[in-house]
Amino acid sequence: MEALIYPDKANLYRLPWSMNDNPIGWVEVTDICNIQCKGCYRLVMGEGHKPVRQIKEDILFLKKWRNCDNITLAGGESILHPHILDLIKFINDLKMKSIILTNGYALTNSLLKDLKKAGLTGLSFHIDSTQIRPDFKKKKLESELELNDLRLKYGKMVNKVGLYAHFGITVTARNYQEVPKFIQWAIDNIKLINGVSLIIYRGLPLTEGIEYYANDKKIDMKSGGLGYVVDKDEIEGIGITSKDIYAIIKKHFPDYDASAYLGGTIDHTSFKWLIGNIILNGKGKTFGAFGKKTLEIAQTMHHFIYGTYLVYPKNRFGKIVFLMSFFDRSLRKALSKFIRYALLKPIRFFSPINALGIGIVQAPDLLPDGRVEMCDDCPDMCVHNGKLVNSCRLDEYRLYGDLVQAKIVNEQGKQTILKNRSQVLM
């Protein structure tokens, strides 16, 4: 059997992002949504749309304390906010990029045109088979691929107005094997798509042997509350890590590689964020991947020139990226493969070259001893009561006023149901 290849830290650049110097600022503009996603991080608690004044204060806070290159507007469903255009304009006037995180369902061509006019950089769509939404043709989907037409519809709409388009799915035990097909879909439509993200599903296990506390009070998780509480059977079916996703992509696309990462806050072997870019032409022929030096130079130069680290580049680099092959071994290999390919038919030298960004995110893990491992220097921090908090755990503050803590309560003190790192959260 073919051996799987896993990421190696020696070949990866550790992104220089930190709490106070991080290109991403996360702002949730509403807790209202028009669909349902399994394991959603956000509860509808009746807060509704945040007042514009408060959102603008949060954006200014993030600019000041995070030194952001980009503000990601999330929710709930961010485009439902009645002042979304004003907010985009506000971010644009502050000379930051803006990305809207959306399920797409309420998106129209005319709204897209207005968003573009207001200065929006791009949209990141979450469309996957874990959702319940009115625009699915079937209630129960057998495969992630059944949604490709819907994704394509949004890709075309965004492309028409010339914005950045990104597509994300939640990876579960059920659709994990389909990850390569999802990547292939993005490769086939590279003219419309800039990147994809694969966010591993997380859940908080409801099972004997674990008790939960917040503010020193025991919490009864069964009686509702957090949207990501799952029972034991479901958790045992998860257990996927970012390394597994890397390995399955690498197996199907040997030219793929990751070039940068963020580790975890506890385990030195984790990869909580793995960022990579496949280089390819418009016909889906792949040549290689960005190496760590390209990411290092891009981050450093962007910081030197603009004062912030880089995220969501506005423009496609095309063949210019091959200039980095002076410094980057991985790009030298890609360039050499491209030249060999083009020499067979010299007209190919003129065909456009693209890069497909692939981001893998391993959400927080509950470790066997009950500690929770987060992403080191979390890029998706938001403002809550004047403090920066991990957006994936915001609901714990909203519901319980503090982070939830797990206590492993088995009798022997060592053997628990958490035999391995579970892909679970808190």
Check if the beta carbon of residue 200 is closer than 8 Å to that of residue 171.
yes
Which H/E stretch holds residue 243?
A: helix 242-252
To 10 degrees, what angle do helices 242-252 and 179-188 make? 60
Does position 274 bind ligand SF4 by CB under 6 A? no
Check if the beta carbon of residue 61 is closer than 8 Å to that of residue 26.
no
14 Cβ neighbours under 8 A, 6+ residues apart: 260, 261, 262, 263
As a whole number of angstroms, the distance between CA 190 and CA 56 comes to 34
The torsion angle over the Cα atoms of residues 127, 128, 130 and 133, rounded to 10 degrees, is 50
Site string for ligand SF4, 311-350 (x = CB under 6 A): ----------------------------------------
Does position 391 bind ligand SF4 by CB under 6 A? yes
CB atoms near residue 177 (< 10 Å): 11
CA 209 to chain CA centroid, nearest Å = 31
Could you identify the residue written with the tokens 């043709």? 137
Rounded to whole angstroms, the maximal C-alpha distance in the chain is 71
Least distance from ligand SF4 to the Cβ atom of residue 168, Å: 12
Q: Which is nearer to ligand SF4, 37 or 163 (CB)?
A: 37
Choose which of 15, 280, 378, 383 interacts with ligand SF4 (CB under 6 A). 378
Does position 193 bind ligand SF4 by CB under 6 A? no
As a whole number of angstroms, the distance between CA 194 and CA 358 comes to 9
The encoded tokens of residue 6 equal 């896993």
67 Cβ neighbours under 8 A, 6+ residues apart: 20, 21, 22, 307, 308, 309
Does position 27 bind ligand SF4 by CB under 6 A? no
Choose which of 29, 120, 392, 424 interacts with ligand SF4 (CB under 6 A). 392
Q: Which is nearer to ligand SF4, 23 or 379 (CB)?
A: 379
Does position 245 bind ligand SF4 by CB under 6 A? no
Does position 165 bind ligand SF4 by CB under 6 A? no
* Interface positions, 348-377, toward ligand SF4 (CB under 6 A): 361, 363-364, 374-375
Does position 390 bind ligand SF4 by CB under 6 A? yes
Does position 380 bind ligand SF4 by CB under 6 A? yes
Does position 183 bind ligand SF4 by CB under 6 A? no
Choose the binding region for ligand SF4 from 143-151, 241-249, 303-311, 388-396 (rule: CB under 6 A).
388-396
Q: Which is nearer to ligand SF4, 355 or 394 (CB)?
A: 394
Does position 288 bind ligand SF4 by CB under 6 A? no
Interface residues with ligand SF4 (CB under 6 A) are 272, 361, 363-364, 374-375, 378-380, 390-392
